[in-house]
Chains A and B, each alone.
Chain A
Amino acid sequence: MPAMNMVQALNSAMDVMLGRDPDVVVFGEDVGYFGGVFRVTDGLQRKYGAQRVFDAPIAEGGILGIAVGMGAYGLRPVAEVQFADYIYPAMDQLVSAAARLRYRSAGEWWAPVTVRAPCGGGIFGGQTHSQSPEALFTHVCGLKTVIPSNPYDAKGLLISAIEDDDPVVFFEPKRLYQGPFDGHPERPAVSWAKHPLGAVPGEHYRVPIGAARVARAGADVTVLAYGTMVHVALAAAQETGVDAEVIDLRTLRPLDADAIAASVEKTGRCVIVHEATRTGGFGAELAAVVQERCFYSLEAPIERVTGWDTPYPHAFEWQYFPGPARVGRALRRATEG
């Protein structure tokens, strides 16, 4: 099986779907000739032509607006927003149109739109190239929200998203594009080449939307994480020696509550980790679900480790980023009680 990094895996997903389905079109700012500022669409215009893979004007609201219109016609548009931080001009099209078109027309119209956007910090992008706005989308009924943590899942989930008849917001943790970053910027970068989940089939396959994955089995505490934080949580478990069960959620909405409950009922303890700001973050929803489903199994308060409630500061990337030390301390607190 070919080793792929996350950029190549995502590229392969679009390649496969463009090849299989003439209704798939790919567009966004710098996506066509150039192949995207992160190179995720590299070579696709050359292979499938500018009618199917093209550059869009700098207008995220317009990009999502035409995506909804194309979807209404019957195409399967895959739109890129260059950074998740620039998705806000598209909010109205996503929230008021894409998410509700099926509902408001009682199933007459729908828009099977996939929006890809790189998210998260770790590249010194400051407050406008580092955000994790997933909770703004998980709050919207009618949208699905997906965040992969590795190349294998990234390809399989993106294919599922493109084939899905509902709109999917697909966040790509940009710090994972080249390797499984575990929150230690001082260490040499690791590539996906030797990672088991960097082995990615070249052909079509799906990873289902709505199914979590156990990234590490363990007995003492459940860690709920997604995206980059999966790798940080794994590092924290290793560094502290706490036998944590790390659940990679993969999809935030629909949420695999059964997988969460099964693990927390077993361990009796839960630590929730995300890079996004704390207040009103997706961790709050997760804590509520755990409380509803597992109240009588809980032996300690649920811990949350998150980004601080500030914009992402350029100079303090690593003090802001919830790294393995902070996650490790939460693991200890959760297991000591």
Chain B
Amino acid sequence: MDRSPVLRLHIPEPKHRPGEAADFSHLRLPRAGSVERPPVDSGAFAMRDLAYALIRVLDDEGTAVGPWDPQLDADTLRRGLRAMALTRAYDERMYRVQRQGKTSFYMRSTGEEAVAVGQACALERDDVVFPTYRQSGLLIARDWPLVDMMCQVYSNSADRLKGRQMPVLYSSRAAGFFSLSGNLGTQLSQAVGWAMASAYKGDHRIAAAWTGEGATAEPDFHHALTFASVYHAPVILNVVNNQWAISCYQGIAGGDESTFAARGIGYGVPALRVDGNDFLATCAVTRWAAERARSNLGPTLIELFTYRATAHSTADDPSRYRPADEWEKWPLGDPIRRLKDHLVGRGEWSEAQHEAMRKEVEEQVRAANREAEAKGTLDRGPLPPVASMFEDVYREMPAELRRQRDELLGGR
């Protein structure tokens, strides 16, 4: 007789849905400074606890504490603060111009600025980054011109990508910023390949790639970990766990059963889990991983624990699937405010300076936008020449494509 129970299918559910109050009291958040910092040549198994911990440098008072404090000087921190504020102001402005109908679509990274900007702080300018659409802060931290980014968002006459890509799918070879893909996950194994090539060539540059926690379910994430592990690729693989993948909470990607950082352990890839809203911590863990990669010790997997403060995109309405007050209740706060408080606490910044900087970056964005709009918007033009759509399919335009181009131009 079979005494086993009737099987039941488990479907994960988030703790709270719209109409309910958000509550993050179930999260285990270790005290800032309490997590050890292992030597960079540690193995994945030896340092496995870090995949389940949460590395935090800034405590509740805004003081930097513990072994992960990267000891950054005040100028570096002020630059980081400014890049984060600029990223937010840029996002707000571009969100607004989309709402005004001047372009088709936009995606913000609000609340996640310490990911891109904090991590950029730990990379060399010539390291190549393979981001997702939510790390435009990397371009901003690398001082890439806002006008150039905006022209891409408008698909206008000055868009270097010739109006081909949806807004925010930037590319900048000069900024070491790989062409963004709309197809999730593909950049991860590509970053590993780039890093292997760098090692093969005896180069000194490393690669870094990002994914949302949702897209870790794609096979590319697992390809990336396998190949990076096998070939000790000099690469940093980052999972930005912002809790939501459009309407799906992180449990749908497997986050209820384990951490995303812990995925690395099974592949033998050392893994760190970090407070993604703590600029000092994101910079510190990335430095650790970069040092490892540069010393031929191989890859690191980093989970950045954060929260997607705004909608997935301009096509999304989060009030349909999550409590309205989640962002207010998010226990790890706002990355900009936290770094500001730290600098103020160190006597290196003041509320008045902060307010002045906020106005300054807003003005900088406004001025850039005036310049970009003068080069065209998607709704009114001018756009790139229409015949350019046939270019770059191949290096040389084949005869059949030339014929098609002439057909379009000739209105045949």
Chain A interface (Cβ within 8 Å of chain B)? 29-30, 32-34, 37, 50-51, 54-59, 61-62, 85-86, 88-89, 124-129, 278-279, 308-311, 313-316, 319-320, 325, 329
Contacts and interface: CB of A to CB of B under 8 A. Distances in A.
Contact of A309 (B164, B253, B378, B393): B393
Interface in B372-412: 378, 383-384, 386, 389-390, 393, 400-401, 404, 408, 411-412
Nearest to B398: A309
Contact of B219 (A29, A59, A127): A59
Interface stretch (B49-57, B241-249, B335-343): B241-249
B404 A309 contact: yes
Pick the 10 closest A-B CB pairs, nearest first.
A315-B163, A128-B182, A34-B247, A57-B217, A126-B166, A124-B104, A315-B155, A59-B217, A50-B11, A313-B389
Given A29-B246, A30-B246, A279-B400, A37 B315 contact: yes
A47 B163 CA distance: 43
A308 B253 contact: no
A129 B321 contact: no
Nearest to A330: B412
A315 B214 contact: no
A48 to B, nearest CB: 12
A314 B13 CA distance: 36
Contact of B166 (A54, A128, A279, A319): A128
Contact of A314 (B104, B184, B214): B104
B104 A58 contact: no
Contacts, number: 119
Interface of B: 9, 11, 13, 17, 104-105, 155, 159, 162-167, 169, 181-185, 214-215, 217-219, 245-248, 252-254, 315-316, 320-321, 378, 383-384, 386, 389-390, 393, 400-401, 404, 408, 411-412
A58 B218 contact: yes
A51 B155 contact: no
Contacts of B411: 325, 329
A77 B187 CA distance: 30
Contact of B389 (A51, A124, A308): A308
A86 B214 CA distance: 15
B321 A85 contact: no
A318 B350 CA distance: 52
24 contacts: A30-B246, A30-B247, A37-B246, A55-B252, A57-B253, A58-B184, A58-B185, A58-B218, A59-B219, A85-B182, A124-B378, A126-B164, A308-B408, A313-B162, A313-B164, A314-B155, A315-B155, A315-B159, A315-B164, A316-B386, A316-B389, A319-B386, A319-B408, A329-B411
A29 B165 contact: no
Given A85-B182, A128-B183, A314 B163 contact: yes
Contacts of A58: 184-185, 214-215, 217-218, 245, 248, 253
A55 B393 contact: no
Contacts of B184: 58, 86
Contacts of B245: 29, 58
B260 to A, nearest CB: 12
Contacts of A54: 11
Given A86-B183, A126-B182, A128-B166, 13 more contacts: A30-B248, A33-B321, A34-B320, A37-B315, A55-B248, A55-B252, A58-B245, A124-B378, A129-B166, A314-B104, A314-B164, A314-B166, A329-B412
Nearest to B390: A310
Contact of B163 (A30, A50, A57, A313): A313
Given A50-B13, A127-B182, A316-B383, A310 B401 contact: yes
Contacts of B169: 126
A127 B165 contact: yes
Contacts of A127: 164-165, 182
B179 to A, nearest CB: 12
Contacts of A279: 400
A33 B252 CA distance: 12
A86 B182 CA distance: 9
A174 to B, nearest CB: 12
Contacts of B181: 128
A59 B218 contact: yes
A225 B125 CA distance: 52
Residue with the greatest number of chain B CB neighbours at <10 A, chosen from A50, A89, A311, A314: A314
Contacts of B105: 124
B386 A89 contact: no
Contacts of B9: 51
Nearest to A125: B166
Contact of A310 (B215, B218, B315, B393): B393
A278 B163 CA distance: 22
A255 B90 CA distance: 51
Contacts of B165: 126-127, 314
A243 B252 CA distance: 54
Nearest to A61: B219
